[in-house]
Amino acid sequence: MNLEQLRALVAVVDEGTFEAAARRLSITPSAVSQRIRALETTTGRVLVQRGIPCSATEAGTVVLRAARQVDLVVGEATEELTGPGGDRTVLTVAVNADSLATWFPAALRAAATWDDTVLRLRVDDQEHTRAMLAGGEVLAAVTTDRQPVVGCTVRALGVMRYVPVATPGLLARHQDGASLDLDRMPVVQFNAKDTLQDTVLDEHAASAAPWHGVPSSEGFARAVRAGLGWGMLPEHQIGASLDTGALVRLPGAATRDVALHWQVWRLGSRHLERLTDTVVDAARALRPPPMTERMARRPPR
């Protein structure tokens, strides 16, 4: 597999079109198309699903994963031979929206001091970022899955605690004494993948609750604070609101702890190792990981 062909595959999948990939690579769309066709001829597989946007086929994800890894390793080898000053190393990372809105910015502040690297973040629910890693879209991911993708290492980051909260006014309108009508009380959801609120609804056998969709972590928190609906907010976003009375907990609804992990490709890359150390350090703002995982991380005697 030719390195330039592999880079063309990465560009097409990342940018979504052959024209955008051409602009990124500073070549013509025809040249991009030729490189993709040559790579598909070499592998004997269709690698790109042509469309808007373009995406990798099942075979394409295998090659895409290898392409990112090869490009990273070759780039670092070139840097060692020629010294700093060349192109910055691109690190693609998947992170969930709530982490990006709370503790992950500490890692971004550290990365802002790196003059040899650029970060490309992909945002999705923490239960779905693992698929990006397995599909070759990213080199590392914040995920809830502790089972490593083949070829990856896993580090326990800690726990995000989610608390079911609402404004006092919203709660009062749907509460009759000790009874809370969750079938009629509006709920806020991040998107269709967001199942955090479902755990509370299932516990109370509530299935017909009207829901508002707010696909932004900061917007989600603002919607709950505005009384649009109740929702599961990370402790970091609640702050002192429970103490001041701006928000109240839903009676009878339990908190939920979501354990987060850092999965990263095992490539011996100094850029990935630095990123891993930075993310793990930033995650100290989270609750400690479960005892079983802390014990698993202890070095052997």
pLDDT at 1 over 70: yes
Question: What is the reported pLDDT for 287?
Answer: 93
The CATH number of residue 196's host domain is: 3.40.190.10
Spatial CB neighbours of 201, under 8 Å, sequence gap ≥ 6:
182, 187, 207, 209
CA atoms within 13 A of residue 140's CA, in its CB half-sphere: 26
pLDDT at 301 over 50: no
Q: Each residue of 87-129: pLDDT tens digit? A: 788 999 999 999 999 999 999 999 999 999 999 999 988 778 8
Question: What is the reported pLDDT for 185?
Answer: 95
Is 63 part of a structural domain of the chain?
yes
What is the pLDDT averaged over residues 252-258? 93
Question: What is the reported pLDDT for 290?
Answer: 76
The domain total for the chain is 2
Q: pLDDT band for 291, please (50, 70, 90 cuts).
A: low
Is 135 part of a structural domain of the chain?
no
Dist. CA 206–CA 198, nearest whole Å:
9
Identify any residues that bridge with 143 across adjacent strands, giving them in sequence order: 261
Q: Each residue of 158-209: pLDDT tens digit? A: 999 999 999 999 999 998 877 889 999 999 999 888 889 998 999 888 878 8
**Whole domain around residue 60: which residue ranges?**
1-87
Is 141 part of a structural domain of the chain?
no
pLDDT at 299 over 50: no
- Which is more confident, 22 or 289? 22
Question: What is the reported pLDDT for 292?
Answer: 57
Reading phi first (left if > 0) and then psi (alpha if -120 to 50, else beta), residue 136 is in left
Q: What is the percent of the chain where pLDDT is above 70?
A: 96
Is 207 part of a structural domain of the chain?
yes
The CATH number of residue 67's host domain is: 1.10.10.10
Dist. CA 61–CA 252, nearest whole Å:
45
pTM: 0.85
What is the pLDDT averaged over residues 49-57? 93
User: What is the CA 254 to chain-centroid distance, rounded?
Assistant: 25
Is 300 part of a structural domain of the chain?
no
Question: What is the reported pLDDT for 289?
Answer: 85
Q: pLDDT band for 43, please (50, 70, 90 cuts).
A: very high
What is the pLDDT averaged over residues 121-145? 90
Arithmetic mean of pLDDT over the chain:
91
Is 229 part of a structural domain of the chain?
yes
Please give the structure tokens belonging to residue 99: 């982490």
Is 288 part of a structural domain of the chain?
no
Dist. CA 153–CA 17, nearest whole Å:
32
